[in-house]
Structure 1
Amino acid sequence: MSMPSDDMVLILKGKKVGEPSVITVNCPDKTGLGCDLCRIILEFGLRITKGDVSTDGIWCYIVLWVFPHPVSLTVSWASLKNRLLSVCPSYAVSFYFNQQSSCCTNSPIYLLKFCCLDRKGLLHDVTEVLCELELIIQRVKVMTTPDGRVLDFFFITDSMDLLHTKERQDDTCKQLRAVLGESCIICELHLAGFEYQTQLGVSSLSPEAAEELFSCELSDKENLSQALSPDLTKLKKANVMIDNSLSPAHTLLQIHCVDQKGLLYDIMRTLKDCKIQIAYGRFSSNNKGLRVVDLFIQQTDGKKIVDLDKQNYLCQRLKLEMLHPLRVIITNRGPDTELLVANPVELSGKGRPRVFYDVTLALKVLGICIFSAEIGRYSTSDHEWEVYRFLLDESCDFQLSRSQARNLIVDRVRRTLMGW
């Protein structure tokens, strides 16, 4: 028995503004499928407001209600459907048992290089074009020269797998030149060579910055700084509970927390990394901006989670993801001011979507120029992290030396990342 791949993903678009679109996925199951679907949805700038998941371990049925975020965002629904189909097992049910999770060929890395006169918001405008073209930023190296020009290197992959064609390359350069303006000196695009390998690392972090950025514990001060507003501070708590009394075969995992962009992705990513399977789940909200998630889960051996150490580890790991899915700090890098943003990388090696887009948007809104930027990987004892580093141009009117101003930058960046 097989199923036409076109029927595996159905999208019913909202008929009017403010009405959610409904995405239905009906396909063979695989470990981590929910995470892969949520990641793509987040990559397209969509926010999941409600969801239902059901699977018997062989076949799954998923329904997600989504909104564009922001509402004015234009979504390519046809491309979204193709991307969602690309992670669905596409063969007969009998093939499921021989399938390897996430065994896909890596997309080739391309190097986009351009040079032009610098201006406020330039980096975000370029990033916005790349997102609209469904080009995924893997690494970045941005430098500003003393004469006010920028030399930028973007290492990108193409989610449409068309960047090898001259038409796709020409269209990309054409749209970028339109944004860069008449000051554009160079705009080149070609397959990346040895240059990409030199960008895999990240400039060394000071021990103090690394400790603050990757700390596993959340202080009361950090919890407070992430609250939606002072009057909602008491709501900025994550309650994660496990109950083995309601089902003979499954463990009930209950999560109550404040809503934030990418919430369901963070939950699914954590469960995927912990090798936890979902049999049934519901993702809903109430009128106070809180999210309620009920998941009936099992270990990969098909058994409930009865070991107390495993229960505590899973609860603490999820609670940390609810409260602090991204780390944002400002520190000194010699005489310069540096903004650091970090997010954990999936075990599959994939980083969180749209982080670079959101950070550059927040800095553009604040009117802060970026002197240089880079993306790299950093490993700790229990995680691999994607680290975004931005040297901020202190020649701007913004008084970066004042602690109040620095707190404002961190707060705006975090709120933009969280969709607050």
Structure 2
Amino acid sequence: MGILYDDAVLIRLSEKEEEPSVITVNCRDKTGLGCDLCRIILFFGLTVVRTDMSTDGKWCYIVFWVVGKPSTRWSLLKKRLMEACPSCSLASVILSEEAETKPSDVFLLKFCCHDRKGLLHDVTEVLCELELIIKRVKVSMTPDGKAMDLFFITDTRELLHTKKRKDDTYGHLRAVLGDSMISCEIEMVGPEITSSSQGPSFLSDAITDEMFYLETPDEHQNRTVAFKSPSITIDNLLSPAHTLVQIVCQDHKGLLFDVMRTFKDYNIQISYGRFTKKEKSECELDLFIMQADGKKIIDLSKQKSLCSRLRVELSRPLRVALINRGPDTELLVANPVELSGKGRPLVFYDITLALKLLDKGIFLADIGRYMIGDREWEIYRVLLDEGDNVSISKTAIEETVWSMLMSWEP
């Protein structure tokens, strides 16, 4: 059995508040490792300000300069990063890959409580702190003012089948909900719940065209938020063995994750890379890459496809729309799903936090996965409570949600 050395992940905390902390990862390499590490860093709410990475195809060395929060759980972050690193023997790598393909058990958390403003976000925050991943959610209101919530969740710690873990979850929820909680249960659900896609999109053709098919920044600009179109160039002359991809783009939360998941989906290996955050919210990336066969990307059609995909992911990493449903307003947020079946973390957390800050009530909420075109999307549907705060404009709602998702100043 292979061994994962204790120093595979090292974290050096900053001594001054204005300086970043440094995370160093030194382990066996695998295609998509950078994406997996970036997802974990994003899940813990850290901001990456600089990255250096290099690999010889077998062993990699990655350094992240990150800005954390006073509440950052650094020891738990190290543990999660260590778990993402392949072990040192070939047998362990094979076992790790098999574990990745095995779907996690899905549990149904269902509870009933008296409704109040910000309730859904407070529950979502508790689940995130407990490392419980929300796969689907069904939230509805009863006529007498009670909230009936169904969360389909998986457990990062793989312990939710135990009484201790369930009791711990009950305790955290009760500490937040207090006397407003009426009932709460957790049970494992069948494999039919874990199916990745729910069939055709429920959206109208007009909304689908606007949110998904007008892909380039020149064809579509968000109504309320202006993205700066990224500059992407490819050079095959600078290196004898690698294709150089240079990117200059506007910063946003999860930017490095968006780049890494694109290369992972294309099965592209990054041999050397550098990410730097500049002034005025501008970022620069220099990435020396190769295909899975170890060759440069010479084919012009492949170059064009990669550049087009990167341009879309950096211009429209998420899709946001407000739609009139008769007298009601529905907020839609679409999150692209990787080929591995994983999506961007904390999207629902950010949506509910934005609405809580606006003091905007939620009447219904739903998360589902749908095939739209040739891609799978995780779509968040939130029917807003129009009973009060009608003075908040739809533009203000969309701007606040976007700012929260992108980590921009509102």
TM-score clears 0.5? yes
Structure 1: gaps (5+ residues): 228-232
Map of 1:128 onto structure 2: 125
Indicate conservation of the 8 Å contact 2:105/2:188, yes or no: yes
Does residue 1:416 correspond to 2:393, yes or no?
no
Letter in 1 for 2:77: L
Does residue 1:254 correspond to 2:246, yes or no?
yes
Aligned length, in residue pairs? 406
The whole-number CA distance in structure 2 between the counterparts of 1:22 and 1:291 is: 19
Find the partner of 1:314 among 306, 310, 324: 306
CA 1:53–1:249: 2 relative to 1, 3 Å: same
The whole-number CA distance in structure 1 between the counterparts of 2:56 and 2:161 is: 40
Indicate conservation of the 8 Å contact 1:42/1:262, yes or no: yes
Q: Compute the displacement of 1:334 (Å).
A: 4.0
Map of 1:175 onto structure 2: 172
Does residue 1:238 correspond to 2:230, yes or no?
yes
Map of 1:11 onto structure 2: 11
1:359-399 deviation per Cα after TM superposition (whole angstroms, max 9, x unaligned): 00001111110101010011122211000000001102234
Aligned to 1:182, the other structure's residue is in SS state: helix
Q: Root-mean-square deviation (CA), in Å?
A: 2.3
Map of 1:225 onto structure 2: 224
Map of 1:55 onto structure 2: 55
Aligned to 2:274, the other structure's residue is in SS state: strand
Indicate conservation of the 8 Å contact 2:113/2:180, yes or no: yes
CA 1:195–1:175: 2 relative to 1, 3 Å: farther
The whole-number CA distance in structure 2 between the counterparts of 1:194 and 1:307 is: 42
CA 1:194–1:90: 2 relative to 1, 3 Å: closer
Letter in 2 for 1:135: L
The whole-number CA distance in structure 1 between the counterparts of 2:192 and 2:262 is: 32
Q: Compute the displacement of 1:95 (Å).
A: 6.5
Map of 1:327 onto structure 2: 319
1:93-132 equivalences in 2 (<5 Å): 100=97, 103-132=100-129
Indicate conservation of the 8 Å contact 1:28/1:93, yes or no: no
Letter in 2 for 1:176: L
Does residue 1:305 correspond to 2:290, yes or no?
no
Indicate conservation of the 8 Å contact 1:177/1:187, yes or no: no
TM-score normalized by the length of structure 2: 0.93
Q: Compute the displacement of 1:336 (Å).
A: 2.2
Map of 1:230 onto structure 2: none
Map of 1:81 onto structure 2: 78
Indicate conservation of the 8 Å contact 1:341/1:388, yes or no: yes
Q: Compute the displacement of 1:413 (Å).
A: 0.5
Map of 2:210 onto structure 1: 212
The whole-number CA distance in structure 2 between the counterparts of 1:312 and 1:346 is: 20
CA 1:42–1:30: 2 relative to 1, 3 Å: same
Letter in 2 for 1:415: S
The whole-number CA distance in structure 2 between the counterparts of 1:211 and 1:419 is: 26
CA 1:219–1:242: 2 relative to 1, 3 Å: closer
The whole-number CA distance in structure 2 between the counterparts of 1:373 and 1:183 is: 20
Indicate conservation of the 8 Å contact 1:368/1:398, yes or no: no
The sequence identity of aligned pairs, in percent, is 57
1:240-274 deviation per Cα after TM superposition (whole angstroms, max 9, x unaligned): 11011100000000000111100000000001101
Map of 1:344 onto structure 2: 336
Structure 2: gaps (5+ residues): none
The whole-number CA distance in structure 1 between the counterparts of 2:54 and 2:103 is: 30
Indicate conservation of the 8 Å contact 1:29/1:89, yes or no: yes
Letter in 1 for 2:212: F
Q: Compute the displacement of 1:181 (Å).
A: 2.1
Q: Compute the displacement of 1:289 (Å).
A: 1.6
Map of 1:35 onto structure 2: 35
Aligned to 2:121, the other structure's residue is in SS state: helix
CA 1:270–1:199: 2 relative to 1, 3 Å: closer
Q: Compute the displacement of 1:170 (Å).
A: 0.8
1:80-109 deviation per Cα after TM superposition (whole angstroms, max 9, x unaligned): 112111121113268769984874432211
Letter in 2 for 1:154: F
Find the partner of 2:188 among 188, 191, 197: 191
CA 1:346–1:372: 2 relative to 1, 3 Å: same
CA 1:18–1:93: 2 relative to 1, 3 Å: farther
CA 1:3–1:102: 2 relative to 1, 3 Å: closer
CA 1:310–1:351: 2 relative to 1, 3 Å: same
TM-score normalized by the length of structure 1: 0.91
The whole-number CA distance in structure 2 between the counterparts of 1:284 and 1:250 is: 21
CA 1:102–1:4: 2 relative to 1, 3 Å: closer
> Which moves more between the two structures, 56-65 or 100-109?
100-109
Aligned to 2:82, the other structure's residue is in SS state: helix
Aligned to 1:222, the other structure's residue is in SS state: coil
Letter in 2 for 1:207: D
1:127-167 deviation per Cα after TM superposition (whole angstroms, max 9, x unaligned): 11111111111110000111111000011111122222212
Letter in 2 for 1:160: R
Q: Compute the displacement of 1:219 (Å).
A: 4.6
